């Protein structure tokens, strides 16, 4: 399978292997590095074999994705118990619950969205990805983030949807409860996000060697839980960097409530997880081009915390 990704100025100077890992959901970085080294990746017609190649601000990356290897690990189909927001013959959108990993990774070999997808769409077994991951995964949500997650039911739909996310033809709006209230009711955050220099589990705003990250936020309403100021914030993201919303809101002094990694844990209430929900998703249908607009209702744990807030 051949996949093409068009570069934009926002991609300038990013590492090739890191960029491809971000763009090709479902493929591990190690696997993509092997493809690069074996000459399966070209940049505007020129073969690139160095993983850390810095990308230009324009051009087209072409990746030759081999068919599944005969000895590749195979996942187990599991029960599909997710709310469907949309489904047809080529794609679906689910309301992912918090606490579920999207695709297998070290420490999470099963119990993932990918396992459940195989349970509902067993025909995808024949389209299994070369590194043992499941097809159908075109973007990601953090384990403890709930909400809209698009699924491809065919390889062709996966390529189309993946390209739509890569080319920023999609729209993503999240809802967050924050520990603290931003000084400005709305704003735009645009900077670089990269790995934290000390804590490798965290991301951070950096001056160089990061990826462009753009978010816009608006405070819907604010109040208190006990003595803790709390805000319900709508966030639109224009890029999909790891932990982007969590990092951006924490940079305002208002980390996502319940987010222990970025300072959102407070003693005001018992918060079961980070209060972040992928609320709305807009994307072109991979077969018809029709713009689909989906919305995931707030889960009960999010609503429960909202009921404890004395909104003003």
* First vs last C-alpha separation in the chain: 54
The strands making up 59-64's β-sheet, listed across from edge to edge, are 2-7, 59-64, 41-43, 46-47
Residue in 142, 144, 259, 301 annotated catalytic? 142
Task: From 298, 304, 265, select the one nearest 146 (Cα to Cα).
Answer: 298
Could you tell me whether strands 310-311 and 211-225 are parallel, antiparallel, or unpaired per DSSP bridges?
A: antiparallel
d(C-alpha 212, C-alpha 190), whole Å: 7
Q: What are phi and psi of 128, to 5 degrees?
A: -60, 145
Query: Are the CB atoms for 265 and 259 separated by under 8 Å?
Result: yes
Instruction: Phi first, then psi: give them for residue 36, nearest 5 degrees.
Output: -60, -50
Give catalytic status of residue 310 as yes or no.
no
How far from chain centre, in Å, is Cα 12?
A: 21
- Asked whether 135 and 129 are in contact (CB, 8 A), the reply is yes
Q: What's the residue count for the chain? A: 312
Question: Any idea which residues carry the catalytic annotation?
Answer: 142
């Amino acid at each position: 399978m051949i996949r093409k990704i068009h570069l934009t100025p926002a991609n300038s100077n990013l590492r090739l292997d890191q960029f491809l890992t971000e763009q090709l959901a479902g493929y591990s970085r190690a696997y993509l590095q092997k493809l690069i080294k074996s000459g399966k990746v070209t940049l505007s017609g020129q073969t690139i074999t160095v993983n850390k190649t810095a990308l230009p601000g324009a051009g087209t990356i072409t990746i030759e994705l081999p068919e599944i290897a005969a000895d590749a690990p195979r996942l187990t189909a599991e029960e599909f118990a997710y709310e469907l927001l949309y489904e047809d013959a080529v794609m679906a959108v689910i309301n992912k619950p918090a606490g579920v990993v999207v695709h297998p990774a070290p420490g999470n070999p099963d119990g993932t969205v990918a396992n459940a997808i195989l349970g509902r769409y067993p025909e995808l077994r024949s389209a299994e990805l070369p590194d043992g991951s499941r097809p159908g995964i075109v973007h990601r949500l953090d384990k403890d983030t709930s909400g809209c997650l698009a699924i491809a039911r065919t390889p062709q739909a996966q390529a189309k949807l993946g390209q739509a996310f890569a080319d920023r033809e999609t729209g993503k709006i999240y809802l967050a409860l924050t520990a603290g209230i931003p000084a400005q009711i709305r704003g735009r955050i645009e900077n670089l996000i990269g790995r934290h220099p000390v804590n490798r589990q965290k991301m951070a705003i950096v001056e160089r060697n990061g990826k462009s990250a753009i978010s816009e936020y608006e405070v819907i309403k604010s109040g208190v839980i006990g003595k803790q100021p709390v805000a319900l914030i709508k966030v639109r993201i224009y890029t999909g960097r790891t932990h982007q919303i969590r990092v951006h809101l924490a940079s305002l002094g208002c980390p996502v409530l319940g987010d222990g990694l970025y300072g959102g844990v407070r003693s005001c209430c018992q918060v079961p997880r980070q209060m972040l929900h992928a609320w709305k998703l807009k994307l072109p249908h991979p077969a018809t081009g029709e713009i689909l607009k989906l919305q995931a209702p707030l889960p009960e744990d999010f609503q429960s915390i909202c009921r404890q807030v004395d909104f003003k």
